[in-house]
Amino acid sequence: MDLAAFDYHLPEELIAQEPLADRAASRMLVLDRAAGRWEDRQFRDLPQFLGPGDCLVLNDSRVFPARLFGHRAGLRALPIGKNNPKRSEHLSGRVEVLLLRPLAGDGQEWEALVRPGRKMRSGERIRFEDGLECEIVSHGEYGQRTVRFHTDGDLFAAFDKIGHVPLPPYIKRADEPADRERYQTVFARERGSVAAPTAGLHFTPQILDECRAQGASITRVTLHVGLGTFQPLHAVEVEQARLHAERYRIAAEDAAMMRAARRLVAVGTTSVRTIESVLRDGSLDAREGETDIFIYPGFVFRGTGAMLTNFHLPRTSLLLLVCAFAGTELALAAYRHAVAERYRFYSYGDCMLIV
């Protein structure tokens, strides 16, 4: 399959730049796969589409302030004696570091994206506020870097203090204090994501209670959103593309509730990928590990019965997953309808329920 087949035209003004004041006020396009049709609804209508035997599967990963801004720390030797050089440091060049995931070990090494990447070589150091500093250790295949922090303190506390909310690049503004709460689901628990599982952003405690009142159960999985979710596809042919691995976990009690359900309603593509990763490797049991599962048309879904998802960028793995679940022609036709009806797109935008 040619990746160009998964494209659509989107006017730039439809890309949501700000969240709605009310999380649950989003529009919701309901796509019926069996009937081959859709209807325009509101997200508040979601409980009407649930009933006894349904199980909402939420991704409870929590976004942390993963974008750091610092400066290159250059070294220049100033010889003062034969065996006694005195070193002075100068700060030069603004550097942006987007942390992706911690690596195994003592917790000081992270996989990251660094800009400007080409100028930053292994061994160079980056200095941030409050004395935090890291060193570039190595380079990865698609521009990733391994960076090592030099601190005895709590790294996450440092990130919380000096880091910025990693808003996607199509949001053409700097992050604001309000984004720390709004670019986060109300059920987020375990920090580790560098992008929000955006389908969950629409939920409020009241909507969750209304879903339970309809007889639906609610379970949680954890998939920490990283490069695997939002990286561009580098191959022209879909089948040649590969995704970056992301960490996931399903607890025993949640796995048991999902096994007992009549239908799993996955909230977001990350929940779908978690469910299908576990079922690909066996039964729906408690599990944790990493997944690089890439779902595109032709994929056989083993557990996902319905899906709530936001609208996604053209030519991305997220759009391919939607096309795999809904059918490519139907999904792209629904996207064209959403454009014509002026739906709000992407992270802070509206959503689609596929049944």
Q: Per the domain annotation, does 92 fall within a domain?
A: yes
**Which residue range is the domain that position 79 belongs to?**
67-162
Residue at 172 is within a domain? no
pLDDT at 58: 98
Q: In degrees, to the nearest 5, what angle opens at C-alpha 53 toward C-alphas 52 and 57? A: 110
Strands (E), the chain: 27-32, 37-42, 54-59, 61-63, 67-79, 85-102, 109-115, 125-127, 133-139, 144-149, 190-193, 217-223, 246-250, 263-267, 287-291, 304-310, 351-354
| CATH number, domain with residue 235 | 3.40.1780.10
Q: Which of 130, 162, 194 is the last residue of a domain?
A: 162
pLDDT tens sequence across 311-354: 999 999 999 999 999 999 999 999 999 999 999 999 999 999 99
Do 123 and 262 reside in the same domain of the chain?
Answer: no
Residues 233 and 330 in one domain: yes
> pTM here?
0.91
Question: 266 and 217 in one domain?
Answer: yes
Residue 170 covered by a domain = no
Among the candidates 121, 136, 162, a domain finishes at 162
Q: Does residue 21 sit in the same domain as residue 75?
A: no
| Residues 109 and 253 reside in one and the same domain | no
Q: What is the pLDDT along the chain (355 residues), one digit of tens a residue?
A: 999 999 999 999 999 999 999 999 999 999 999 999 999 999 999 999 999 999 999 999 999 999 999 999 864 433 444 444 444 444 458 899 999 999 977 889 999 999 887 777 888 999 999 889 999 999 877 678 999 998 888 899 999 999 999 999 999 999 999 999 999 999 999 999 999 999 999 999 999 999 999 999 999 999 999 876 767 787 888 988 888 889 999 999 999 999 999 999 999 999 999 999 999 988 999 999 999 999 999 999 999 999 999 999 999 999 999 999 999 999 999 999 999 999 999 999 999 999 9
Q: Determine how many CB atoms are found less than 10 A away from the CB of residue 195.
A: 21
Distance CA 150, CA 67 (A): 17
- What pLDDT shows up at residue 74? 65
Q: Which residues neighbour 60 within 8 Å (Cβ) at sequence distance 6 or greater? A: 185, 187, 188, 189, 190, 220, 221, 222
Query: Where a domain ends, among 139, 162, 185?
Result: 162
Q: Are 112 and 208 found together in one domain?
A: no
- Give percent of the chain above pLDDT 70: 94
DSSP assignment of 68-125, as one string? EEEEEEEEEEEE-STT-EEEEEEEEEEEEEEEEEEPSSSS-EEEEEEESTTT--TT-E
Domain count, the chain: 2
For β-strands 217-223 and 54-59, DSSP reports them as: parallel
Residue 105 lies in a domain: yes
CATH number at residue 74: 2.40.10.240
